[in-house]
Structure 1
């Protein structure tokens, strides 16, 4: 893990990219399902807020192994959530 600062920047960037892609979907597709796209955006914002909160409050501050495990789990969970959101968006695009 590089740094908490870089992790937070990555969280912000990935969330912004997902939101931008959802907005592009609504803009460019005539038969776009706006409600589902807004739901994906809403979930992305919730996931972003939870990830930033988890990054700001690590478990076991006194034990470096616990802190490292905490941040590794955070990265894993966030990337998994982003992948799931993109899978939902992909379903919308294919419809």
Structure 2
């Protein structure tokens, strides 16, 4: 299993990429409604980041290695799904430009 530190670095790198993409799209957005929606999306990204980093630090079943492995496996799946969902939302904004 990878370390918590490496998992945090991976999450932060992915979130930074998504957040930067949202900032770029917001800078070229022509309507205020789209800019507000992008700001809401950036807020969602920040909440996702905080929640995920908190979950990395506090796994379920500390004393049972099998439970810890399954916890991190599920957490990685959760991270991948949410990153894909946010990326899809950003793609919709790009199509709207």
Q: TM-score, normalised by structure 1?
A: 0.92
Specify the alignment match of 1:74 in structure 2: 75
| Long gaps (5+) in structure 2 | none
Q: How does 1:45-84 map to 2 (within 5 A)?
A: 45-84=46-85
Q: Distance in 1 between matches of 2:78 and 2:26?
A: 27
Superposed CA RMSD? 1.3
Structure 1 segments of 4 or more deviating over 6 A? none
SS for the counterpart of 1:22 is helix
1:16-63 Cα distance to aligned partner (Å, 9 max, x none)? 111100001112344571111111111111111111111000000000
Number of matched residues? 95
